[in-house]
């Protein structure tokens, strides 16, 4: 009996030793020489492998960054300036500071603003829905509400609001990797400058229909009237194809356009004080619409907490 | 309706659902269940009820509380597992062993792999084998039927297969007659009537729930392998008819091997799978230490299903 | 009776529900306005050639082809062009339409509106093709592929068999059935014309067995007209018999290779309605401005079911109104058959050349069941007429494995709907496979373009 034990232990131990030696020599013999800095860079990366930088993952990013002549084409949106400073330190490059970005949902077609005209009965996928038809509301441009963006977000920063049927971005979790932007078949989500203390102004609509048609489909639609572009002193607003767009690099956050917009399609978020409902300075006070965006502001701020 | 539905095509659906398919399987099992209750009486009914109820209960509880996804709970599917498990047990099995078997079938074999559609092994068979190796005494304790029908030539103590080492192959072969097709005393309760099982199988075929190829290839392989060995030495090896009609061959081939989840999808994959089961079960019967090999053969072939699915595909249109 | 033929792989057997089969074709009155879409055919949209305010007659050309694969569009009414601009189609997407206010019903003089059957076939093949093209004839079997392109196969390929598709395998639809009964002789002449264009190949008219009256009527027409090489072939009832590849398999027992055209096995498939349109175009000079459409459904009483001859451009809502309005029990409105038709999201949309029905389905018939988990029953694979494995394709799509999808031939999917129709777990197989197919087709096209560019670069380098 004991001999059986001893033999078994002996053979197993011998086998283990032999195989470990084989492995050791193979590892030595076939070792691939790599720039040790790749490992160092990879170590400071966030490790989410989200692909937001345009590379297959953090290691691919590190590999490419080490070989690159400068860091102009390498920026990790998830890690932001902090990580890039570390990467630049390892590689001896100059880090370029970039303004932090955040994903912005440019549709305010809530269930209330945008009544449904039919019931979608296919698979819950915006991609499938968009390929099938214009959507279950009168607006063929707006959010389809199946949550492809939520599924695409690796950071849990997006969620569907069951009341509005629209996705909500949690700014504290959003890393601006851009996965949701790619996932949205309607191109509603945009990466915009986060703005000082999160303050920013944007047009929450992408409807290219003519004013009357857009308005009929959705109470909160941009009707392309151009009032915002006229009132903007910084030439930040352009109206093209019946829809306004605010260039966030030019916007000075004066919020004149917000007061001017007749449908409340322009949203201002994270401002310490909401815009008063009636502005005496404004040439054409728009009382009713100014109320409309308010609940959205409040909700966004709540979500940031 | 004031708002109409919109969806991609198709806009109609065949009158079939997972539940309706499983209901058909239950209906197909009914003849065999009725016969077994008639022969074995209230005890058998109790085992069937305990097994079915505990399978349903365990599946519901695991889906609800562990997975938190009630879509994983398919009541008729759990019922099928429960009934098949009960049909694979001797009538004298204590109720707590049945419950244990149900827990193993649903909890370990089915749900731990991800629930309906994900399991590698047939839950009822795996549970039966689990009970067989855990409680060998209780699981091979065959009692004489004490049901509503009394058979004069009923004998107790061992199954027909169990008689082989005692009587020898020649004598054992003589025990099989036309009567065996109608009822076959001894063994698991569900195996009692080959005819009732075949009627159920025919119902499944008519309802197009399953295709016949797996079952037929098992029967054919058993017949061929037994035929060859029997011709070589009839004193050592029992003949084809004996091997087809005894043990759980018919129950296994008609209802267990044809389980959707654990059998190959393609026709040719199914045939290979059936041949494998037939061959393995005959090898176990002739050369193994267990008298009965259907359960082990099916479990072993279950493991090959992913490979068979990978190797065998239906013919694609316009491709060589 | 000899064993009926059908295609060899897969297929399903939905109840044929041809409730409207007894309704003779009725001519619809004219609405006050028609909206004629510029995208009624496969390929590039047509370009309008009229301006707002122009007077048009019935049959006047209002748009010309916007590319090689495109078609002429004609006014289906006489009146004044009121506007040209985007209007929502049945999916709610904006498409350019020409709006015409109806004034009387004055036809172009060149159109022969008599009922006389013209059986003499013109001899000039090019002239026939020109006439078909000028009359804007497109395939009316579903794909609306321009007919003159299909009847003019690339040099080097030879048509051996013209297959006329009278299968009408979709449940509910009866418009092809009705024209085969009522216009059988015209269809046969149309077939003979296409036969002549294709260089005198044989012609088989495939009709499913559930339409014995149509088989008899077509048989009689073939016999009485006496054109050589035309025969009627009864087919076993099975969906999707009317699929081009399936019909070729059923009739010729040949299979078209992946990505290849039917002509590669010597087949040209045309719908019976297309044959009728070809007859009217060539023999009567009448452009494709009318078609037959069925108003039917499981929740529509049989006395309210109709087969209508409609003018292209009539709004669907107008036709629904003529048939007594949308039934209360209708849960889904479909344009086309229940297996491959498109759900109508916008009933104000207009009819197009290929419109074949307004189908009202009840909630019980059409609402999708709750999706559950795959039990690997393999029914989808058994049903797939292309021999694919939908359960596997869906898994590969969810995993994002484009290479695997291409290997498993997702690009061969004909989107017939058999997989989802037969899935007991109501898994939206086709919804996802269609997406996968789109992605893989994109990869294949990009690769082909790259290969072409590389070949051209190599050629340029040589010179």
Write out pLDDT tens, residues C230-272. Answer: 999 999 999 999 999 999 999 999 999 998 999 999 999 999 9
The nearest CA of chain A is from the CA of B9 a distance in Å of 9
Label residue B177 by pLDDT band (50, 70, 90).
low
At residue A33, φ and ψ (nearest 5 deg) are -75, 125
pLDDT tier at B182 (50, 70, 90 boundaries)?
A: low
Q: What is the mean pLDDT of residues C18-40?
A: 94
Q: What is the mean pLDDT of residues B52-61?
A: 96
Residue holding tokens 């498993």?
Answer: C408
Which one-letter DSSP state was computed for residue B167? H
Specify the pLDDT at position B307.
Answer: 94
Task: List the single best residue of B3, B4, B5, B7 to mutate versus A (max A Cβ within 10 A).
Answer: B7
pLDDT mean over C83-109? 93
Total count of residues recorded for chain B: 320
Over pLDDT 70: what percentage of chain A? 90
Is C424's Cβ below 8 Å from some Cβ in B?
yes
Find out whether A184 and A58 touch, Cβ atoms under 8 Å: no
How far is A35 from A33, CA to CA, in rounded Å?
7
Between chains, do B9 and C430 touch, taking CB under 8 Å as contact?
yes
Beta-carbon separation of B317 and C386 below 8 A? yes
pLDDT at residue number A286: 41
Q: Which chain C residues in 28-47 lie under 8 Å from chain B, judged by CB atoms? A: none
Interface mutation vs chain C, best among B4, B7, B10, B262, most C CBs within 10 Å: B10
- Contacts across the B-C interface (CB distance below 8 Å): 155
CB atoms within 10 A of CB A235: 9
**Residue B104 DSSP label:** I
Domain locations in chain C as residue ranges: 25-105+289-364, 125-284, 379-462
CA distances from B242 to B33, B172, B229, C2, C450 (A): 22, 8, 13, 43, 67
What whole-number distance in Å separates Cα of residue B271 and Cα of residue C111? 64
Give the residue numbers in A contacting B (CB under 8 Å), as ranges.
116-123, 128, 132-133, 136
A115 to chain B: nearest residue by CA?
A: B3
**B28 in contact with chain C, both atoms CB, cutoff 8 A:** no
State how far residue C405 is from chain B, nearest Cα, in angstroms.
14
SS (H, E, C) chain C: CCCCECCCCCCECCCCCCHHHHCCEEECCCCCEEEEECCCCCCCCCEECCCCCCEECECCEEEECCCCCCCCEECCCCEEEEEEEEEECCCCCEEEEEEEEECCCCECCCCCCCCCCCCCCCCCHHHHHHHHHHCCCECCCCCCCEHHHHCCCCCCCCCCEEEEEECCCCCCCCHHHHHHHHCHHHHHHHHHHHHHHCCCCEEEEEEECCCHHHHHHHHHHHHHHCCCCEEEEEECCCECCCCHHHHHHHHHCCCCCCCCCHHHHCEEEEEHHHHHHHHHHHHHCCCCCEEEEEEEECCCCHHHCEEEEEECCCEHHHHHHHCCCCCCCEEEEEECCCCCCEECCCCCCECCCCCCEEEEEEHHHHCCCCCCCCCCCCHHHHHCCCCCCHHHHHHHHHHCCHHHHHHCCHHHCCCCCHHHHHCCCCCCHHHHHHHHHHHHHHHHHHHHHHHHHHHHHHHHHHC
Strand order in the sheet with C161-166: C230-235, C202-208, C161-166, C267-271
- B5, B8, B9, B12: best to mutate for the A interface, most A CBs within 10 A: B8
Inter-chain residue contact C438 with A121, CB threshold 8 Å: no
What pLDDT, on a 0 to 100 scale, did the predictor assign at position B91?
Answer: 85
Contact B7 C255 (CB under 8 A): no
Q: How confident is the model at residue C193 (pLDDT cuts 50, 70, 90)?
A: very high
Q: Is the distance from CB of A186 to CB of A141 less than 8 angstroms? A: yes
Contact B8 A122 (CB under 8 A): yes
CA quadruple C255, C259, C265, C266: dihedral positive or negative? positive
Decide if B151 contacts B35 (C-beta within 8 A): no
Model confidence at C56: pLDDT above 90: yes
Best mutation target among A121, A144, A185 (most C Cβ atoms within 10 Å) is: A121
Work out how many CB contacts closer than 8 A connect A with B: 26
% pLDDT > 90, chain A: 41
Average pLDDT over residues B170-196: 73
**How many angstroms separate the CA atoms of C177 and B202, rounded?**
38
List all residues of chain C from 329 to 368 with a beta carbon under 8 Å from chain A: 332, 343, 345-346, 366-368
Best CA proximity match to C284, nearest among C153, C94, C115? C115
SS3 A17: helix
Residue B100, token pair as written in the block: 């244990």
Which residue from C minimizes the CA distance to A116?
C345
Cα–Cα distance measured from residue C406 to residue C424, given in angstroms and rounded to the nearest whole number: 26
Residue C92's closest CA among C350, C357, C360? C350
Contact list, A116 vs chain B (CB under 8 Å): 3
Residue A120 tokens read as 């979608």
> Considering all CA atoms of chain C, what is the largest pairwise distance in Å, rounded to the nearest integer?
73
Check B14 against C14: CB less than 8 A apart: yes
Contact A122, B10 (CB under 8 A): no
Structure token pair of residue C59: 């049959």
Closest CA–CA distance from residue A224 to any residue of chain B (Å): 29
pLDDT band at B146 (very low <50, low <70, confident <90, very high): low
Q: In whole angstroms, how far apart are CA B37 and each of A14, B44, B46, C417?
A: 60, 6, 10, 45
Helices C125-134, C272-284: inter-axial angle, 10-degree rounding: 110
How confident is the model over A88-139, as pLDDT tens digits?
888 888 777 778 889 999 999 998 899 999 999 999 999 999 999 999 998 9
pLDDT value, residue C331: 94
Tell whether A14 lies on the interface with C, counting CB pairs under 8 A. no
pLDDT in tens, C345-364: 999 999 999 999 999 999 99
Give the number of C-alpha atoms closer than 13 A to the C-alpha of residue B9, restricted to the C-beta side. 17
Q: Which of B3, B4, B7 sits opposite A122 (nearest CB)?
A: B7
Cβ distance C367 to B18 less than 8 Å, yes or no, reads no
The whole-number pLDDT of residue A287 equals 41
Task: Using an 8 Å CB-CB cutoff, list chain A residues near C332.
Answer: 121
Alpha-carbon torsion (C216, C221, C223, C229), positive or negative:
negative
d(Cα A39, Cα A41) in Å, to the nearest integer?
5
| Per-residue tokens: C384 | 């797939």
Nearest CB neighbour to A128, from listed B3, B5, B8:
B8
Q: Where residue B150 falls among pLDDT bands split at 50, 70, 90?
A: low
With contact defined as beta carbons under 8 Å apart, do C187 and C200 qualify? no
Above pLDDT 70, what percent of chain C?
A: 100
Q: Which of A121, A123, A128 sits opposite B5 (nearest CB)?
A: A121
CB contact, 8 Å: C345 with chain B?
yes
Say which of B12, B77, B261 has its CB closest to residue C339.
B12
Give the model's pLDDT for residue A290. Answer: 40
Q: Are strands C55-56 and C79-88 parallel, antiparallel or unpaired?
A: antiparallel
Q: Do A133 and C93 touch (CB under 8 A)?
A: yes
Q: What is the DSSP letter of B113?
A: G
Band (A55; pLDDT cuts 50, 70, 90): confident
ipTM of the complex as predicted: 0.89
Residue B163 three-state SS:
helix
Say whether B300 sits in a helix, a strand or coil.
helix
Q: Give burial (CB, 10 Å; 0-12/13-18/19+) of A156.
A: exposed
Q: Which residue has the tokens 């103590």?
A: B157
Torsion sign over Cα A279, A280, A286, A288: positive
Contacts of A120 in chain B (CB under 8 A): 5-7
Burial of A302 (0-12, 13-18, 19+ CB in 10 A): exposed
Using a CB-CB cut-off of 8 Å, the residues of chain C touching B77 are: 375
Structure confidence at residue B147 (pLDDT): 61
- Looking at the structure, give the CATH architecture of the domain made up of residues C125-284: 3-Layer(aba) Sandwich (3.40)
Using alpha carbons, select from C41, C118, C104 the residue that is nearest to residue C74.
C41
**Residues B42, C336: Cα–Cα separation, whole Å:** 58
Mean pLDDT of C388-409: 94
Token duo for residue C279: 């007859």
Q: What is the rounded radius of gyration, in angstroms, for the C-alpha atoms of chain C? A: 22
Residue in C with minimal Cα distance to B17: C424
């Amino acid at each position: 009996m004991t001999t059986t034990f001893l033999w078994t232990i002996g053979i197993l131990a011998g086998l283990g030793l032999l195989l470990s030696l084989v492995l050791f020599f193979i590892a030595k013999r076939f070792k691939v020489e790599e720039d040790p800095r790749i490992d160092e860079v990879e170590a400071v990366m966030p490790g989410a492998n989200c692909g937001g930088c345009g590379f297959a993952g953090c290691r691919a990013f590190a590999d490419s960054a080490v070989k690159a002549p400068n860091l102009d084409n390498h920026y990790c949106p998830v890690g932001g300036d902090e990580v890039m400073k570390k990467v630049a330190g390892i590689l001896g490059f100059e880090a370029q500071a970039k303004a932090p970005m955040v994903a912005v949902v440019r549709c305010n077609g809530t269930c209330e603003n945008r009544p449904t005209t039919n019931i979608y009965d296919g698979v819950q996928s915006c991609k499938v829905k968009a390929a099938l038809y214009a959507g279950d509301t009168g607006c063929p441009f707006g959010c389809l509400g199946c949550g492809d963006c939520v599924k695409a977000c690796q950071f849990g920063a997006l969620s569907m609001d069951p009341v509005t049927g629209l996705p909500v971005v949690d700014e504290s979790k959003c890393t601006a990797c851009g996965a949701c932007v790619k996932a949205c078949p309607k191109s509603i989500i945009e990466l915009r400058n986060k703005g000082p203390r999160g303050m920013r102004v944007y047009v929450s609509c992408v409807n290219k229909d003519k004013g009357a048609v857009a308005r009929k489909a959705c109470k909160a639609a941009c009707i392309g009237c151009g009032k915002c572009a006229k009132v903007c002193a910084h030439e930040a607003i352009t109206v093209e194809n019946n829809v306004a767009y605010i260039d966030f690099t030019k916007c000075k956050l004066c919020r004149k356009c917000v007061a001017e917009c007749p449908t409340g399609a322009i949203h201002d978020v994270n401002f310490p004080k909401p815009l008063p409902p009636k502005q005496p300075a404004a040439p054409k006070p728009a009382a009713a619409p100014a109320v409309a965006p308010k609940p959205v502001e409040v909700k966004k701020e709540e979500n940031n907490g | 309706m004031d708002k109409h539905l919109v969806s991609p095509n198709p806009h109609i659906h065949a009158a079939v659902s997972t539940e309706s398919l499983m209901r058909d399987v239950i209906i197909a099992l009914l003849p065999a269940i009725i016969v077994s209750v008639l022969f074995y009486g209230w005890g058998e009914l109790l085992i069937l009820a305990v097994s079915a109820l505990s399978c349903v209960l365990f599946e519901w509880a695991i889906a609800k509380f562990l997975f938190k996804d009630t879509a994983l709970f398919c009541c008729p599917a759990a019922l099928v597992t429960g009934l098949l498990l009960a049909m694979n047990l001797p009538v004298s099995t204590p109720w707590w062993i049945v419950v244990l078997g149900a827990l193993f079938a649903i909890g370990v074999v089915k749900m731990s792999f991800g629930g309906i559609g994900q399991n590698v092994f047939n839950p009822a068979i795996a549970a039966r084998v689990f009970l067989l190796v855990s409680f060998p005494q209780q699981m091979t304790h065959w009692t004489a039927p004490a049901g509503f029908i009394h058979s004069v030539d009923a004998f107790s103590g061992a199954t027909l297969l169990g008689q082989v080492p005692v009587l020898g192959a020649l004598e054992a072969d003589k025990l099989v007659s036309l009567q065996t097709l109608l009822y076959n005393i001894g063994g698991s309760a569900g195996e009692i009537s080959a005819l009732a099982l075949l009627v159920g199988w025919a119902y499944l075929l008519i309802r197009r729930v399953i295709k016949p190829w797996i079952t037929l290839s098992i029967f054919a392989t058993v017949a061929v392998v037994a035929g060859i060995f029997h011709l070589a030495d009839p004193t050592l090896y029992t003949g084809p008819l004996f091997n087809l009609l005894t043990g759980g061959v018919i129950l296994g081939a008609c209802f267990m091997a044809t389980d959707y989840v654990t059998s190959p999808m393609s026709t040719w994959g199914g045939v290979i799978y059936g041949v494998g089961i037939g061959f393995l079960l005959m090898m176990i019967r002739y050369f193994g230490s267990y008298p009965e090999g259907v359960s082990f053969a099916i479990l072993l072939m279950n493991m090959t299903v992913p490979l068979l699915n990978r190797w065998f595909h239906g013919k694609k249109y316009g491709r060589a | 009776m000899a064993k009926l033929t059908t295609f060899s792989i897969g297929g399903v057997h939905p109840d044929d529900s041809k409730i409207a089969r007894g309704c003779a074709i009725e001519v619809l009155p004219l609405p006050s306005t028609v909206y004629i879409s510029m995208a009624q055919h496969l390929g590039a949209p047509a370009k309008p050639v009229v301006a707002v305010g122009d007077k048009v007659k019935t049959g006047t050309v209002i748009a010309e082809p916007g590319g090689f694969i495109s078609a002429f569009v004609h006014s289906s009414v006489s009146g004044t062009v009121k506007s040209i601009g985007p209007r929502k189609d049945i999916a709610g997407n904006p498409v350019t339409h020409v709006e015409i206010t109806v004034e009387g019903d004055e036809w172009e003089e060149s159109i022969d509106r008599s009922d006389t059957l013209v059986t003499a076939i013109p001899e000039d093949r090019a002239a026939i093709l020109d006439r078909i093209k000028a009359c804007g004839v497109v395939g009316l079997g579903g794909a609306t592929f321009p007919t003159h392109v299909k009847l003019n196969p690339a040099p080097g390929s030879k048509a051996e068999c013209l297959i006329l598709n009278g299968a009408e395998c979709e449940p509910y639809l009866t418009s092809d059935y009705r024209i085969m009964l009522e216009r059988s002789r015209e269809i046969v002449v149309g077939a003979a014309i296409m036969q002549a264009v294709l260089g005198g190949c044989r012609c088989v008219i495939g009709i499913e067995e559930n339409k014995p009256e149509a088989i008899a009527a077509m048989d009689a027409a073939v016999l009485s007209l006496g054109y050589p090489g035309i025969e009627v072939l009864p087919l076993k009832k099975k969906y999707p018999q009317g699929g081009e590849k399936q019909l070729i398999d059923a009739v010729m027992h040949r299979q078209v290779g992946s990505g290849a055209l039917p002509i590669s096995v010597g087949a040209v498939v045309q719908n019976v309605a297309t044959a009728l349109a070809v007859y009217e175009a060539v023999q009567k000079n009448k452009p494709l401005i009318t078609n037959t459409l069925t108003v039917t459904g499981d929740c529509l009483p049989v006395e309210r079911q109709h087969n209508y001859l409609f003018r292209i451009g009539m709004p669907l809502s107008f036709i629904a109104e003529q048939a007594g309005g949308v039934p209360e029990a209708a849960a889904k409105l479909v344009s086309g058959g229940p297996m491959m038709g498109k759900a109508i999201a916008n009933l104000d949309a207009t009819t197009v050349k290929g419109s074949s029905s307004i189908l009202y389905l009840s909630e019980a018939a059409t609402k999708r069941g709750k999706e559950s988990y795959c039990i690997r029953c393999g029914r989808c694979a058994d049903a797939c007429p292309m021999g694919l494995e939908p359960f596997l394709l869906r898994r590969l799509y969810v995993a994002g494995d484009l290479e695997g999808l291409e290997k498993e031939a997702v690009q061969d999917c004909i989107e017939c709907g058999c997989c989802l129709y037969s899935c007991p777990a109501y898994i939206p197989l086709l919804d996802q496979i269609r997406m996968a197919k789109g992605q893989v087709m994109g990869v294949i096209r990009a690769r082909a373009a790259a290969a072409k560019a590389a070949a051209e670069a190599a050629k340029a380098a040589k010179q």
